[in-house]
Structure formats: C-alpha cells, structure tokens
Chains A and B, each alone.
Chain A
C-alpha cells in the first residue's frame, strides 16, 4: 500500500507539472497558428526533443523492453526499424513536407491537388491512424495504472482521456510541445539510470551482461529464431519481412510525427531537429537490450509474463527490484508521462485534420474566420478525445503492440505512397491520390481484421483468450508486405486509368503545375513573385 502512495505522489507531481505548463502555454495559444503548429516558432533542439517525446511511446518503453525480455533478439527488430525509419523521413519526406505544408498532412497534398476529395481522404486516414495509435496508448495506460494504483481499467482510461483533452483544448501545440520535451528528458533520465543499475551488476561491461544471458537464459535469446521448414515456417519468415516494412516506412506516414516538422520556421531547422531526435531515439533504443535482458535475468521471465502476458511491465518490475519502491514509482510515473505526451500529440494531429481539413476547407470551403476555425479546432479536440475514450473502453482485451503495429502498417500503406508520389511523380493525379490512400487504408485494415491478430482460432499462440475463434484467412500478422504495394498500385492504376491526365487537371485548375511542386518542394519558396522581388530590389526599381 505504501508503494502505491509513493506512486500516487509521483503521478500527481507529473499531472501538476503538465497542467502548470498548459496554463502557462494557454496565454500563447491565441489563434489557429499557435494552436496547430505553435506559430512555427519552435527551435531545432526543442523540436528534436519533442519529436523524441512524440515518438517514444508506451510501445517503445514498455513494449520493447518486455519483448526483448521474453523473446530475445526478435524484440530488437522494433528498435532497429523505428530508428532507421528516420532516414526515410529525413532523406525523402521531411523537407518537402516542411516546404509544402502548413498545418496538416492534407495541406501538403492540397498544395498540389486542389480538390476537396484529396483533402477529405487525407483527413480520414490521419484520423484513422491517430485513433488506432491513441486506442493503443489508452489501452496501455489503462493496464499500467490499473496495476500500479489499483484503478479499474475504465477509470484509468477516462482520467488520461480528460487530461489530454485539457492539455490540447487549453494549451494547444505549445503546451503539447513542452509536455513532450519534459517527458523526453524524464524518459531518458529514467532509462539511463535503469541501464546503469543493470550494468553495475555486471561490472559495467555490456558483454558480461550478454554472457550472463547466454548462460542463464540460453543462447537462443541472442539470435533470431532459425527458419522452420514448411508453409508455416514460410509465413513466419514473411511476417518478419512484413513487420520490418511497416516499421521502416510507417514513421514517414505518421501524422503526429509529420506535423512536428511544421512547427519549425524553416527546412534547416527541420533538419537539425531530426538530428537531435535521431541521436536521442537511437541512444534510447540502444539501451533497450540492457533493459530487456536485465529484466529477464534480474526479475525473471516467469515473473514478467505473470504480471503481463506481453511483458509490458518488465521495465517497472526491473526498477522495483533494482531501486526499491521510490524508483519503481518514478519509472511508473515516467511511463505515465510517456503515454500522456504521445496521446496529446495524437489528439493535435487528429483534431487539426478534422477542424482544419474537414470543417474549414471542405465544409466551409476555406471561408471560416480565424475565430471560427480556432473554436472548431477546440471542439474537434474534445470530440476526438471522447471518441478515443469510447473506443478504448471496450478494447481492454486487445494487445497494445498489435494496435501500434496496425497504426504503423496503415500509415505505411495509406500515407507513404501518396506523400512520395506527390513529391516525385510528375504524372500523378487526383484520382490516383484518392484511390491510393483508400486502397492502402482499407487493405491494411481489412488484412488485419482477417489475420491471426483478430481471427485467433480456438487456440491462440501465444496462449490468450481467443478474440474470434475462427482460423485466420490471411496468414501474416503484419499486413504491410501486401498492403504497401497495394497502396502504390492504387496510386498508379488510379492515375493511369482514372480521371483526366495530370496535364488536363492542370488546365482545369485541379492541380498546380509540377514545375511549381518541384521548385517548392526543393526550395521552400511559397510566394514566388515576392521571393523574386525581394531577391532583386535593384532590378525591380529599374522596371517599375
């Protein structure tokens, strides 16, 4: 009980700190620009920390440590994929997005395609991805707080849901950014301390830790499972590939990460924020084997899987053994802050997609006043939060990792093909963009619905309560191997067979010329006449 009191004190401290930031940020949250993208005035290092805070979710901190503790090397795929994904973001997506977008992902597509259908579908996929991700985080937090504080699941979900609504509605993107920065610092502090405590038991020699894993747990924990013969083995092998496709491409389609590049003033700052984020995220993931194997050795695999079948409580359990109740409470509070910050970022992404793309630009045809837009954004945040809470309440029995993997797969299939082709393909047209997004979104969701994640069969593996006791129709747990190519195919076929050619669309004003897109994506010029005038004041005087 005293453990719980300490934990409650830490939780209240975190809540007080974040609410204080929100109150402070509310004075700056005066219009749509500050609400959606913090006025575009976030500094590079701040944004780098905030990207890390947005990205290192419950799945990263709780999920990967547990997966490595229970399954060994296979759990480390998540760390590698989540990190290498930033090369896709940095080299291909971040700068064009920064140069072409304003508040949302749909803005970037709309800077080329001038139809409400593209905007609506982009908003739909943003909301769908954010919802899956949010349900996963709420679900994880419900389980975590339930076990730590003894709250029932529904109460935990509602408490976090109300908190995130308050942050967004009052503090907007400024508050969200600072909550993410603080969370990133706390998470790094917690992870590094935990790793040092683990390594201290092995003479500060990581190799000694690996040697202990080999001796006490078995050498299978240090390499991926060998391929098994037969069709079942083939499916397992293909599932590994499929998961890795979703991991490496998914980040470049995650709306809550992409909108972070719109909070900085220019492409150079977008770049430097990725550098900061990639170092923090990489160093964090480099520590995950220490946490995971440390938990397996020091806490014990049986203890971990008894507390949570997926191993989600491995890191807090490790903290309790190594640092006693106070450190346990601290690490649990860090996990709580982690979830709250990620959920806040997701609500901003989803609610701006609804308010800015759907309400302002589709329903009101871009005619709404600043005040109306700001109000719509706040109502949308409340609506999105409520929807997420309602969807998370019956999802208690779902696996957190499955929901996050689904979000990554949907992002990789629905958003990434369209983003890349909008930037790089001259012939791309509106029909292709709409078909590509819908095909990617629907195929990813449907394939998951008929996969072993949902159609578990009567005897699920690993053992759990069957969700639907029918044998799976699609053999892979991760749909990306099929749904990502389908997303690209949808873009291609839609462009070739559907609608008018890109040239005709240009003549009719449905899309802007590719000359404009190419220059804009590569230079960040937006108001071309002024850019040119400003660059040459002398020639301007001569001609006028």
Chain B
C-alpha cells in the first residue's frame, strides 16, 4: 500500500523533528554546565544579590536608563544604602565585570537573547578589572 509508505515516512519525519534537541544534543555532546563567567574585580559588591540580578537585570538596566536619561537622576541607592553612579560601562563593567564580550555575551548567547539596544549607545571596556573572586 503506497499510502502507508507515505504515512510512515511522514511519521518518521515528525519524530525526527520533535526529537531534534535530543539527537542534536547527543551529537554535539552538549554539556549541562552552562556558561563560565570571568571573575569579577576583587572586593566589589554588586548592586543587588546574584539571584535577583540573574532574573531581573534587564528591568534594572531599563529603569537606570529612564532615571538617568529622562529624569536626570545620576545615582542609584541600593537596598543596603550603598550609592552607585548609574553607568553601565563605567560602573558595572569597568569596575567589576569586565568587557561585555566575556561577561554579558556569554549568557546572552547561551540563552539566545540578543542584548536589545545596550551597545548602540554604550561601549564595552577593553580590559578586565583586577581579578578577584570567581563569580
């Protein structure tokens, strides 16, 4: 029966497509380790706890932009009272995390998230700050 051949071919194609992550992952020997981030500068503390930053850094950066550009407010007071200068390049990257290629991009590329518009205005610092604690 010719139509059975067609049906089973179609079914096989469907199965192949549905299991694409499986055979692709096995073939590429994908690891579950996740991206490795560079060490941050010694003695620095982030504006918010790591868990919060992982999930919500984009919202914070958006609100920083609005504070600085639209409301002319140039400092940010963290939950613990520390006051930071609002500046992605000068504060976050230069003082602490290093060039965006090694920090931002590792997770963003891993998760397939293009960094919306950051780099059409901001620049990335050329070198990493002093090595410190591995984050």
Partners in one complex: no
**Chain A residues near B (Cβ < 8 Å):** none
**Chain B residues near A (Cβ < 8 Å):** none
